[in-house]
Amino acid sequence: MPSPSPFVLVADAIHVCAGANRAFLLYHASHTSFRQVGYLQIYFPLFNCLLIKFTWSVEDMCPVTPGMLNARREKDCVAITNERKYYSLIGSFVKRSLRPSEWQHNPVVGTLSIPRFGNERILNEAAALRFIAENTNIPVPKLYGCFEDDNAVYLVTELIEGVKLADLEPAQRKSVELELEGYIDVLRGLKSSVWGGPSGIVIPPYRIMVEAYRQAWKMKPRESSDLVFCHNDFSAHNVIVDPVSLKVKAVIDWEYAGFYPQEFESEFFRRPGPSVALDGERNDVEELLEIMYQNEE
């Protein structure tokens, strides 16, 4: 493959057009640009991000490191990940997507972490919170607002006090798990023939997103309303519990929620850890991907 000519590029989206081992990257920015875009080596993503190794020089981008972002974090910012910034205000909790200027660079290995569906997932969560609050008795944070500002999407919700299900002792978890089983039954009572979330976007479960490098999914409507509403990231870290009564105060993080076949929802809340198969657990990602491939337009 010949070397690309130097040029300045400002695009409206990220497009990774991959060959067998290499790809070109079109970079999204309003105030930064590439003078030279070279070949990129695609690596497996961590935490739902593409890791891209530059093998040609990139000028004028000035990527930041996690340490740089933390050093200049705003007031009330309580955490920064490679996808999100989180803020705790009086009675409110805010999370937002990272702007392109905040995508994090690892100078040791030369990788840039680009969140996938970073804005779309927050928009989907806002729509899901509204949908669940209007159609079920499942406790979720109150949605105060969702808006876009300067290439970042903000989600503002009620701040829920309590403890994570993951932090409870095993003996305390049983009654919580029983309550969650009831909520899954409620979700399965919500049916549709159209794939995806209330936002209209198809965002597959977390465990699929970390293994399938797709920028968009266009699915055929089903002949019958046999798709059920799924949380799709139902881990013990996404359940907030009252530490005294052990009642669920809120199920949070609905970024991947939507209408999918029933088997897409897995009860990861039954043990600590992320919403992916751990060592010794059955990994159903290939089966779920095959279902999606068979139902694409």
Residues 108 and 169 in one domain: no
Among 116, 139, 174, the domain boundary falls at 116
Q: Which DSSP symbol is given to 64?
A: B
Which residues have a Cβ under 8 Å from the Cβ of 53 and sit 6 or more positions away? 40, 41, 43, 109, 110, 111
Chain centre to alpha carbon of residue 74: 23
Q: Domain for residue 1, yes or no?
A: no
Which of the two residues, 187 and 54, has the higher pLDDT score?
Answer: 187
Among 116, 132, 147, the domain boundary falls at 116
Residues 234 and 112 in one domain: no
The one-letter amino acid code at 281 reads E
Look at residue 144 in the predicted model and tell me its pLDDT.
98
For the stretch 90-142, pLDDT in tens is: 999 999 999 999 999 887 777 888 888 999 999 999 999 999 999 999 999 99
Domain range for residue 244? 162-294
Q: Domain for residue 9, yes or no?
A: no
Residues 183 and 104 in one domain: no
Q: Domain for residue 197, yes or no?
A: yes
Question: What distances in angstroms separate CA 271 from CA 21, 103, 140, one per listed residue?
Answer: 37, 31, 21
Residues 99 and 26 in one domain: yes
Residues 182 and 250 in one domain: yes
Q: Are 273 and 282 in contact (CB under 8 A)?
A: no
Residues 174 and 290 in one domain: yes
Residues 71 and 170 in one domain: no
Q: Domain for residue 10, yes or no?
A: no
Token readout for 5 is 């000519």
The number of beta carbons lying within 10 Å of the beta carbon of residue 200 is 12
For the chain, the residue count is: 297
SS3 143: strand
Residues 38 and 104 in one domain: yes
Residues 206 and 109 in one domain: no
Which of the two residues, 4 and 260, has the higher pLDDT score?
Answer: 260
Q: Domain for residue 154, yes or no?
A: no
Q: Domain for residue 127, yes or no?
A: no
Residues 105 and 36 in one domain: yes
For the stretch 142-161, pLDDT in tens is: 999 999 999 999 999 999 99
> What is the reported pTM?
0.79
Number of domains in the chain: 2
The structure tokens 């690892």 sit at: 106
Residues 286 and 187 in one domain: yes
For the stretch 257-288, pLDDT in tens is: 999 999 999 999 999 999 999 999 999 999 99
Q: Average pLDDT, whole number, for the chain? A: 82
Chain centre to alpha carbon of residue 135: 23
The one-letter amino acid code at 136 reads T
Of the candidates 243, 238, 92, 273, the one whose C-alpha atom is nearest the C-alpha of residue 163 is 243
Q: Please classify residue 174 by burial: count the beta carbons closer than 10 Å to its beta carbon, then call 0-12 exposed, 13-18 middle and 19+ buried.
A: exposed
Residues 105 and 217 in one domain: no
Q: Domain for residue 179, yes or no?
A: yes
- Strands 104-106 and 92-97, how do they pair? unpaired
Q: Domain for residue 157, yes or no?
A: no
